[in-house]
Amino acid sequence: MITAVVRYKLPPQIDYAACREHFHKIAPNFREVTGLVSKHFIWSESGWAGGVYQWERIEDAEAFYTGPWLEGIIQRYGTKPQIDLFEVFALTDNTCGKVELFEETVASR
């Protein structure tokens, strides 16, 4: 499993309410993204926003963060996002009451 932390500085015209409204509007569109397990839409008072994504495979994440998605981010926010990819070794999910341990994926490529 892969976690991606994606951040971008919001332009001054996109405030809390506008960011929240936009995220609520686009959230359903992520239901059909290949390999995406989940996405947290995030915002900070510091003027940064973005997402924390869980991916099945790094190839799905890398494919998503190019092309139309990247072009849309640049067009809307006027900047390229910062994207950090992390391999997930283990997951504690208290909502399901389980712990998952993951096989090596990135290092073995």
Longest dimension (CA), the chain: 44
Q: List, for residues 6-64, the tens digit of each pLDDT value.
A: 999 999 999 999 999 999 999 999 999 999 999 999 999 999 999 999 999 999 999 99
Q: What is the pLDDT of residue 105?
A: 72
Q: What is the pLDDT of residue 67?
A: 83
pLDDT band at 106 (very low <50, low <70, confident <90, very high): low
CATH number for the domain harbouring residue 77: 3.30.70.100
Residue 91 has pLDDT above 70, yes or no: yes
Tell me whether residue 48 is in a domain. Answer: yes
Tell me whether residue 108 is in a domain. Answer: no
Q: What is the pLDDT of residue 107?
A: 56
**Domain range for residue 48?**
2-101
Give the whole-angstrom CA distance, residue 36 versus residue 60.
8
Q: Locate tokens 């809307």: which residue? A: 76
Tell me whether residue 109 is in a domain. Answer: no
Total number of domains constituting the chain: 1
Give the whole-angstrom CA distance, residue 105 versus residue 45.
35
- Measured in degrees and rounded to the nearest 5, phi and psi for residue 4 equal -115, 130
Tell me whether residue 107 is in a domain. Answer: no
Q: What is the pLDDT of residue 86?
A: 96
Tell me whether residue 15 is in a domain. Answer: yes
Q: What is the pLDDT of residue 16?
A: 97
pTM assigned to the model: 0.90
